Structure 1
Amino acid sequence: MACKRIGETRQDMASCYQNQEPYFSFGVIADIQYADRDDGLSGWRTMRYYRQSCLHLRSAIEQWNAEVTLPKFVLQLGDIIDGSNNRLFTSQKSLDAVLNEIKNANMPFHHIWGNHEFYNFNRDYLRDTKLNTTWMQDKLQDSENEASHGGSPDGYDYYAYHFSPCTKFRFILIDTYDLSVLGRSKDCPVLQESVAFLDGGYLTNSNGSDERHLQEFNGGMGREQLAWLDNVLTYSDQNNERVIIAGHIPIHPAAKRSYCLAWNYDDILKVIRSHECVVCYLAGHDHSGGYYLDSHGIHHITMEGVIESPPGTNAFGTVYVYEDFMVLRGSGRVKERLLPYRRHTQKRDDCFKCSCSSTTGEEG
């Protein structure tokens, strides 16, 4: 029998999920960043295991394939190959190597685009690769607003879509490089808008945050995509769905340990906090990982990066979805977490500042 109230203790929930079957499960993995090159230090002075990362992916797929009940899908949170492939002229070769590993998976992969995708390819190129998984998107047939149907509407080139793997649950993949100086042609209006955004230091921030996250390796969401996201979340509110959002870049200042934060994270948070359906946001980008439960009851999970996992370990997880909570079972550097859904009455404005030098925290 499912737990009836999320007010029960975490111990009660742990006991509860051990005695019931989940509705479904899904895999999650981030920052594989494969390259056929020797290990080396990054600009952050952390060791990266470039060839090992593809072996880690293979091991993760073998474990997902061995599950008694297969995960319905895997969320690949971006940076599937390393940016160094560009200068080595091995971008397509490395991408093919990783995709050949994914062919062995007995479940589909949903791909998100990160900064390293754009170090290697432009947007038009990516749309013609197997990293474009918008073909798996849902269509909300009973919505009158065309902008909420499936992926990004005609006329906009952000890469975002949503799907429902099970009744009353919806996943939304967002494009956190919609605003970006990466992957766009020089005459693209969005590029010009993004350059102006950076040059202006985003002085419209009203929460007193510093601007150290306004780096070229980060990005943000434009007005049109935010409106699209708001429309999809409105649909989920109206249909009593629980929503998991996934993007490459963290959107909460406390869910990462570096400057890896979406440019206009406060705009994104305002949208998702205005909807009771959102229960979790999954990101990669910061290879150290992170976690924060915000005051609206939304779990912000930053997955540890595969690329910085030495031989003998790994960094991926499987999420089991229940009626009142989810369980993240991590492998290697990824911790196990019990993730209760938020109370619908738990809704107030969060007061926070971007503290890019702070360590990850947990609220509550």
Structure 2
Amino acid sequence: MPIGLLADIQYADQEDTFTEGRCQRYREAPGKLQQAVKAFVAQEPQLSCVLTLGDIINGRHATQQEDIQDLDLVLELLQPLAAAGVPMHHTFGNHCLSLPRDMMLRRLGMPASFYAVDIEPGWRLLVLDTTEMSGHSGYPKDSKLGEEAAAYQEAHPLSEQEPHMHGWNGGIGSDQMRWLRQQLQRADADGVNVICSCHHQLGPGAARATHMAWNHKSILEVILGGACVKLVLSGHDHMGGYACIQGKHFVTLEALLEAPSGANAFATLDLLPKAIIVTGHGSCRSRQLAI
């Protein structure tokens, strides 16, 4: 059964903006999302789930109530998936945390900010939270994660050598890193394949250096040690990208937010015994990945 993929819907009730010559079409996002959901619901065979890769809203409005209204609209547009019996799995992005973390967990129906779920026979999804160690995490400065983030930033200041240390990025803390190791060991023992999802890319070359997770090198080392990992999916770098590292595939999905007017950006994923097929729609690239 295929899996639906969406990245960086990033809806906001605001005028378009332009970044690096690219247009962010905020008010077009709901119409494009509605089209993507309609395609997902009509998919044959029925999708096993839909996975979002972060930044479901843009946030940053003058008032929290405006951000909540944006989220309400996005969740309303996603509702036909639930009505059709298609589960949704969400990934936290940096813009998601314009609203309180606890609120987003509750509204998105997430069991936690990082979690594991079996999505098809022989396949397990590990959703990582690369926002938890960051300046926008929502955790108090005197919390364990707040202190880890501050210490990491102090030890790794933004520089030409570490261009990923921008404030719009983030990483995972020590507890989540320990959880990831345990999950990969369990998956290897269970003989299942693993897909990891995270908002910030972990595989160098699959996204620009300025858009990688803070501690992507340490996370990558853990992932490369897990024979079970076949694919890492991310968003964040709106132009998309791809890299293959030691036989593992790293895909950055193109942003729905920046799909051209009259077009779209979403994908489906087919998990085959010897390959993963990414079927892109609109500005999302299609890929055939051998496993």
Q: Could you tell me the TM-score, scaled by structure 2's length?
A: 0.93
Q: Is the 8 A contact 2:206 2:250 kept in 1?
A: yes
CA distance 1:86–1:253, change in 2 (3 Å)? farther
- Does the 8 Å contact 2:206/2:251 carry over to 1? yes
1:154-191 CA-partner distances (Å, limit 9, x unpaired): xxxxx111111222111110111121111223443322
Residues 163 and 172, structure 1, Cα contact 8 Å, conserved in 2: yes
Q: Which residue matches 1:47?
A: 23
Q: Are 1:309 and 2:288 an aligned pair? A: no
Equivalence for 1:245: 196
Aligned counterparts of 1:47 and 1:101: Cα–Cα separation in 2:
23
Residue 169 of structure 1 pairs with residue 123 of structure 2: yes
Q: 1:124 aligns with which of 102, 123, 129?
A: 102
CA-to-aligned-CA distance 1:188-244 (integer Å, 9 cap, x gap): 3322321221122169xxxxx811110111001111111111111111111211111
Q: Which of residues 34, 51, 73 in structure 1 aligns to 2:11?
A: 34
Q: Does 1:331 align with 2:264?
A: no
Give the aligned partner of residue 46 of structure 2.
70
Instruction: Return the alpha-carbon distance in structure 2 between the equivalents of residues 282 and 126 of structure 1.
Output: 21
- Give the helix-richer structure, 1 or 2: 2
Q: CA deviation at 1:86?
A: 4.8
Q: Distance in 2 between the 1:311 and 1:298 partners? A: 34
Structure 2: unaligned runs, 5 residues or longer: none
CA distance in 2, matches of 1:336, 1:47: 22
Of Structure 1 and Structure 2, which has the larger fraction of its residues in strand? 2
SS of equivalent residue, structure 1 residue 291: strand
User: Counterparts of 2:80 and 2:62 in 1: how far apart (Å)?
Assistant: 26
Q: Does 1:188 align with 2:143?
A: yes
Give the deviation of 1:102 after TM superposition. 0.3
Match of 1:220 in 2: 171
- The 10-residue stretch of structure 1 (178-187 or 276-285) with the greater mean CA deviation from structure 2: 178-187
1:52 Cα deviation (Å)?
Answer: 0.5
Structure number, greater radius of gyration: 1
**Cα 1:25/1:314, change in 2 over 3 Å:** same
Amino acid corresponding to residue 221 of structure 2 in structure 1: K
Alignment of 1:97-136 (within 5 A): 97-105=73-81, 106=84, 107-118=86-97, 120-129=98-107, 131-134=108-111
Distance apart, 1:126 and its partner CA: 2.2
Secondary structure (helix, strand or coil) at the match of 1:128 reads helix
Q: Kindly report the root-mean-square deviation, in angstroms, between the aligned alpha carbons of the 2 structures.
A: 1.7
Q: Which runs of 5+ in 1 are unaligned?
A: 1-23, 135-150, 152-158, 204-208, 342-364
Q: Which residue of 2 aligns with 1:82?
A: 58
Residues in 2 aligned to 1:299 and 1:264: alpha-carbon distance in whole angstroms: 19
Q: What is the DSSP-based 3-state SS (H/G/I as helix, E as strand, rest coil) of the residue aligned with 1:262? A: coil
- The alignment partner of 1:225 has SS state of helix
**Shift of residue 128 of structure 1?**
2.7
Partner SS state of residue 26, structure 2? coil
Distance in 1, Cα, partners of 2:195 & 2:39: 23
User: Could you tell me how far apart the structure 1 residues matched to 2:117 and 2:94 are?
Assistant: 24
Aligned to 1:322: 272
Aligned mate of 2:162, from 200, 205, 211:
211
Secondary structure of 1:104's match? Answer: helix
| Residue 37 of structure 1: how far off its partner (Å) | 1.5
The percentage of counterpart residues that share the same residue type is: 33
The 8 Å contact of residues 284 and 302 in structure 1, kept in 2 or not, is answered as: yes
Distance 1:202 1:270, change over 3 A: farther
CA distance in 2, matches of 1:67, 1:166: 16
| Mapped partners of 1:200, 1:269: distance in 2 | 19
Q: What SS class does the counterpart of residue 51 from structure 2 fall into?
A: strand
CA distance in 2, matches of 1:59, 1:178: 32
CA distance in 1, matches of 2:63, 2:204: 32
Q: Distance in 2 between matches of 1:85 and 1:31?
A: 17
Give the letter aligned to residue 118 of structure 2: S
Residues 87-139 of structure 1 show CA distances to partners (whole Å, capped at 9, x for unaligned) of: 58511000000000000122121111100011x2122332332x2422xxxxx
Superposition TM-score, scaled by structure 1 size: 0.75
Pairs aligned (count): 286
CA distance in 2, matches of 1:210, 1:83: 31
Secondary structure, aligned partner of 2:269: strand
